[in-house]
């Protein structure tokens, strides 16, 4: 977005929606504005419910509202990142309105989440693709997309790690209002959306394993708005309240604070994609629990474990071990070394928008 704003030949029309507009999730639209971006429209799609009915209602509102916005603004291109249900709804609106889509982070796999299908559906509606790795580029082509419209750029999240001035420990403690301990863990656990009813049991195992730790400060970030997300939030609040001197929870830290915190902890624990993308770039170890991120590329700094108590305890022991810590300085991210944002802006500038409206299916010869 900054690259677009800085280029005189491009204009950024920024639409903000979803949990960015929710007090419950930290009202993170304020961080967007604090970073100097002008929000053209704030589109409320009512994220007050994380039930399947509530989510489908929000998706319907998003399709209607974004359809109206696109017809009013007449953008040449809609740039979307990721695989959220809100993103799918926006893509559907853009597709119906005849606005070409550029999709970032397509071609990935996350077999434990409903996002897997959303991501591939967005790929089929998109005209231009910016995957984060060569393997993901090949998968997008396998889905029938023309190779000359698939540009491997790396992960924009790595750019944040490289470009942002991260806060020193003392300043971060003052901003967030807590003190780091001798050992520290950053914990983010999202609902397991393809295993309905399993999220509570899996998270209970994680909390029990964390409760066994001595002299470890635990920093929780709240889950997203997927089904069962509020149930996990309630469990976090109860767990933190039992030992408020060494356990802390945040609806949203803000991007720079989050990365600053990640850089200072002994490990990232949970099932968030940030443990696979940003943490390895900072050479911080990750415990990745369960199948939510199954299929994604991972660095050697990622410890995968099943969502049960014994496995999580063993993974924590490995994370804190000297043997594992010695490997972290040699971590290499499979998502590039930065520069994704510049590549995306440069590619967008070179597009012939008049040719993006129609695309033909790219067939790969194969034998059964």
In this prediction, residues 229-233 reach a mean pLDDT of: 89
**Which is more confidently placed, 223 or 224?**
223
A 10 A CB-CB count for 357 gives 10
Query: 199-211 and 229-242 helices cross at what angle (nearest 10)?
Result: 20
Any idea where the domains of the chain sit in the sequence?
Answer: 2-154+339-355, 161-330
The predicted-structure confidence for 14-72, as pLDDT tens digits, reads as follows 999 998 998 888 888 999 999 999 999 999 999 888 888 999 999 999 999 999 999 99
Q: Which residues contact 367 (CB under 8 A, 6 or more apart)?
A: none
pLDDT score of 297 more than 70: yes
pLDDT of residue 358: 87
pLDDT of residue 368: 64
16 - beta bridge partners? Answer: 42
The predicted-structure confidence for 161-184, as pLDDT tens digits, reads as follows 988 899 999 999 999 999 999 999
pLDDT of residue 26: 83
| Fold match, 2-154+339-355 / 161-330 | yes
**Residue 84: both structure tokens together:** 């959220």
The C-alpha atoms of residue 162 and residue 181 are separated, in whole angstroms, by 26
H, E, C per residue of 180-202: CCCEEEEEECCCCCCCCCCHHHH
Q: The CATH number of 161-330 is which of 3.40.50.2000, 3.40.462.40, 1.20.140.10, 3.40.640.10? A: 3.40.50.2000
**Residue 340: both structure tokens together:** 């994704």
pTM of the model: 0.89
pLDDT of residue 27: 86
In this prediction, residues 130-138 reach a mean pLDDT of: 97
The C-alpha atoms of residue 291 and residue 305 are separated, in whole angstroms, by 9
pLDDT of residue 3: 94
pLDDT of residue 203: 94
The predicted-structure confidence for 64-108, as pLDDT tens digits, reads as follows 999 999 999 999 999 999 999 999 999 999 999 999 999 999 999
pLDDT of residue 237: 96
The C-alpha atoms of residue 130 and residue 244 are separated, in whole angstroms, by 43
pLDDT of residue 104: 98
In this prediction, residues 227-256 reach a mean pLDDT of: 92
pLDDT of residue 314: 98
Q: Assign domain 2-154+339-355 to a CATH class.
A: alpha beta
- Band of the pLDDT at 194, cuts 50, 70, 90? low
Q: Please name which of 304, 284, 308, 287 lies closest in space to residue 295, comparing C-alpha atoms.
A: 304
The predicted-structure confidence for 319-367, as pLDDT tens digits, reads as follows 999 999 999 999 999 999 999 999 999 999 999 998 998 899 999 887 6
Instruction: Provide the mean pLDDT of the chain.
Output: 93
pLDDT of residue 62: 96
Q: Please name which of 148, 160, 132, 119 lies closest in space to residue 3, comparing C-alpha atoms.
A: 160
């Amino acid at each position: 977005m900054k690259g677009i704003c800085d280029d005189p030949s491009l204009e950024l029309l920024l639409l903000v929606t979803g949990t960015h507009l929710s007090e419950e999730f930290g009202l993170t639209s304020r961080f967007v504005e604090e970073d100097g971006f002008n929000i053209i429209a704030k589109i409320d799609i009512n994220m007050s419910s994380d039930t399947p009915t509530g989510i489908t209602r929000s998706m319907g509102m998003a399709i209607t509202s974004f359809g109206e916005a696109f017809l009013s603004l007449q953008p040449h291109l809609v740039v979307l990142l990721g695989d959220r249900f809100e993103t799918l709804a926006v893509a559907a609106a853009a597709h119906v309105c005849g606005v070409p889509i550029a999709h970032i982070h397509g071609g990935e796999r996350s077999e434990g989440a409903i996002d897997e299908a959303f991501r591939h559906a967005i790929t089929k509606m998109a005209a231009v693709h910016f995957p984060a790795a060569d393997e993901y580029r090949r998968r997008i082509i396998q889905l029938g997309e023309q190779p000359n419209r698939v540009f491997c750029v790396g992960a924009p999240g790595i750019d944040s790690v490289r470009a942002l001035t991260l806060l020193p420990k003392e300043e971060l403690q003052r901003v967030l209002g807590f003190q780091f301990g001798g050992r520290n863990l950053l914990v983010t656990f999202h609902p397991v959306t393809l295993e309905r009813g399993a999220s509570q049991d899996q998270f209970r195992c994680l909390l029990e394993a964390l409760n066994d730790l001595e002299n470890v400060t635990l920093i929780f970030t709240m889950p997203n708005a997927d089904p069962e997300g509020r149930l996990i939030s309630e469990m976090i609040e109860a767990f933190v309240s039992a030992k408020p001197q060494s356990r802390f929870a945040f609806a949203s830290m803000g991007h720079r604070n989050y990365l600053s915190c990640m850089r200072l902890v002994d490990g990232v624990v949970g099932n968030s994609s940030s443990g696979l993308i940003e943490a390895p770039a900072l050479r911080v170890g990750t415990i990745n629990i369960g199948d939510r991120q199954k299929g994604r590329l991972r660095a050697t700094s990622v410890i995968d474990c099943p969502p049960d108590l014994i496995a999580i305890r063993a993974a924590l022991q490995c994370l804190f071990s000297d043997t594992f810590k010695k490997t972290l300085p040699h971590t290499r991210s499979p998502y590039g070394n930065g520069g994704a944002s510049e590549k995306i802006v440069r590619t967008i500038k070179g597009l012939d928008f008049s040719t993006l409206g129609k695309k033909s299916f790219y067939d790969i010869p194969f034998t059964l």
